[in-house]
């Protein structure tokens, strides 16, 4: 069932993109692309929080560099990625301190108070308690609308959102529900990345259907926004084990037959040790190419239609914005996806 507003007409999804590069700087072609789609919101990774073994404390990494030249009129949603390693090592009595440090760093990076702040963490049974406590502390630190602290009279407190993986969406009784205002359902990275036999771990309609089938009785207790992929990568295997991801890799990068041999669709073997995209590959390494095609993304978007709460305004965000996305997903393809809601 499509989302309806109080007048009985369908809500249109609010289009948005993720920007996950360290330097937030739009190229003119990227800004033109956003304008053509009516995009007024970017979810931008501001920094990672990871555990520093030597210092025995959490540290901010990969802090964003903001170039606002072509960002006028676009709402920036700061996104903070927190590793599970941080939560495993962080003593519970230091959770409040970390929450306040994150709030302070966001303030230092923004010229105007953000209307939304998003946390990204693939929490587990071993880390959910500290992660949820961190979210509660952060809401107090920034005066979130649902925190116990009275809202500031100076500016409206930000909405706090958190990413929700598909398994967390399907099994909320097992994984817990983050104490935030909204959830961003991440509709990608849904397959077994480390299994060479996986066809496409980024996005697969049959896998998505297992989580999002219209007959499902799942009613997630948070209002949801939705994230869909536009990226591609190569998955590098060595001696039967997944070694790393080669972001943005395509068939064109592997067309040198003196270095790469195509063994099957989207499967390659390294026949001569070589450098590729600043990574050294050894002879006999294997590469599986994976991509989010416009057709599959559109099919998965259709499965999400009945997950929108009645009367709810919601965002559909595409991960992620770069020049490759502009070429692979022309505005007509993005509009086709949005029309599924």
**Structure confidence at residue 311 as a pLDDT band (50, 70, 90):** confident
Q: What percent of the chain stands above pLDDT 70?
A: 92
Just give the CATH number of 14-231+292-338.
Answer: 3.20.20.80
What are the E-state strand segments in the chain?
A: 14-19, 23-24, 41-52, 57-61, 65-66, 75-82, 116-120, 159-164, 182-186, 223-229, 232-238, 241-247, 260-264, 267-270, 274-276, 279-281, 286-291, 315-319
**Structure confidence at residue 144 as a pLDDT band (50, 70, 90):** low
pLDDT tens-digit series, residues 161-217: 999 999 999 999 999 999 999 999 999 999 999 999 999 999 999 999 999 986 666
| Structure confidence at residue 216 (pLDDT) | 64
| Structure confidence at residue 213 (pLDDT) | 80
| Structure confidence at residue 67 (pLDDT) | 92
List the strands of the sheet with 241-247, edge to edge: 241-247, 232-238, 286-291, 267-270, 260-264
| Structure confidence at residue 305 (pLDDT) | 85
Q: Over the chain, what is the mean pLDDT?
A: 92
- Whether residue 138 is predicted with pLDDT greater than 90 in this model: the reply is yes
**Structure confidence at residue 57 as a pLDDT band (50, 70, 90):** very high
- Whether residue 134 is predicted with pLDDT greater than 90 in this model: the reply is yes
- Least confident range of 2-11, 105-114, 235-244, 299-308: 2-11
CA 43 to chain centre: 9
Query: Average of pLDDT values for 119-138?
Result: 97
- Least confident range of 1-10, 224-233, 278-287, 319-328: 1-10
Q: What whole-number distance in Å separates Cα of residue 168 and Cα of residue 124?
A: 9
- Whether residue 226 is predicted with pLDDT greater than 80 in this model: the reply is yes
Q: What whole-number distance in Å separates Cα of residue 145 and Cα of residue 140?
A: 9
| Structure confidence at residue 149 (pLDDT) | 47
**Structure confidence at residue 143 as a pLDDT band (50, 70, 90):** confident
- Whether residue 156 is predicted with pLDDT greater than 90 in this model: the reply is no
Phi and psi angles of residue 162, each rounded to the nearest 5 degrees, phi first:
-140, 145
- Whether residue 145 is predicted with pLDDT greater than 70 in this model: the reply is no
CA distances from 146 to 136, 141, 143, 277 (A): 9, 12, 8, 45
- Whether residue 261 is predicted with pLDDT greater than 50 in this model: the reply is yes
In the chain, domain spans: 14-231+292-338, 232-290
SS3 call for 191: coil
- More reliable by pLDDT, 217 or 57: 57
Angle, helix 294-304 to helix 205-212, in steps of 10 degrees: 10
**Structure confidence at residue 1 as a pLDDT band (50, 70, 90):** very low
- More reliable by pLDDT, 143 or 59: 59
- Least confident range of 63-67, 80-84, 164-168, 307-311: 307-311
Q: What whole-number distance in Å separates Cα of residue 332 and Cα of residue 341?
A: 15
- Whether residue 235 is predicted with pLDDT greater than 90 in this model: the reply is yes
CA 246 to chain centre: 17
Which two structure tokens, joined as six digits, stand for 216? 């499902």
Measure CA of the first residue to CA of the last residue in the chain; give whole Å. 9
- Whether residue 7 is predicted with pLDDT greater than 60 in this model: the reply is no
CA 134 to chain centre: 20
């Amino acid at each position: 069932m499509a989302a309806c507003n109080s007048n009985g007409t369908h809500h249109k999804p609010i289009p948005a993109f993720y920007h996950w590069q360290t330097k937030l700087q739009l190229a003119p072609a990227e800004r033109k692309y956003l304008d053509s789609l009516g995009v007024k919101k970017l979810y931008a990774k501001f920094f990672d929080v990871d555990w520093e073994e030597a210092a025995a404390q959490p540290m901010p990494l990969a802090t964003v560099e903001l170039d606002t030249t072509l960002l006028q009129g676009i709402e920036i949603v700061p996104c903070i990625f927190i590793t599970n390693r941080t939560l495993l090592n962080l003593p519970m009595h230091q959770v409040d301190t970390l929450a306040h440090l994150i709030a302070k760093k966001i303030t230092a990076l923004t010229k105007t108070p953000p209307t939304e702040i998003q946390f990204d963490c693939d929490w587990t049974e071993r880390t959910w308690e500290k992660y949820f406590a961190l979210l509660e502390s952060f809401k107090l630190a920034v005066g979130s609308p649902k925190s116990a602290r009275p809202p500031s009279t100076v500016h409206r407190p930000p909405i706090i959102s958190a990413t929700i993986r598909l398994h967390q969406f399907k099994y909320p009784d097992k994984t817990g529900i983050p104490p935030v205002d909204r959830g961003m359902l991440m509709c990608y990275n849904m397959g077994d990345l480390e299994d060479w036999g996986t066809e496409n771990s980024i996005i697969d309609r049959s896998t998505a259907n297992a989580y999002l089938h219209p007959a499902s009785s799942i009613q997630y207790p948070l209002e949801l926004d939705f994230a869909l992929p536009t990226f591609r990568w190569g998955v590098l295997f060595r001696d039967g084990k997944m070694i790393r991801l080669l972001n943005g890799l395509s068939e064109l990068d592997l067309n040198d037959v003196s270095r790469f041999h195509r063994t099957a669709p989207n499967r390659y073997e390294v026949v001569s040790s070589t450098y590729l995209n600043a990574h050294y590959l050894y002879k006999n390494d294997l590469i599986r190419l994976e991509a989010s095609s416009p057709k599959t993304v559109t099919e998965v978007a259709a499965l999400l239609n009945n997950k929108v709460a009645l009367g709810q305004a919601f965002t559909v965000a595409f991960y992620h914005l770069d020049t490759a996305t502009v070429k692979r997903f022309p505005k007509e393809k993005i509009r086709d996806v949005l029309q599924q809601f």
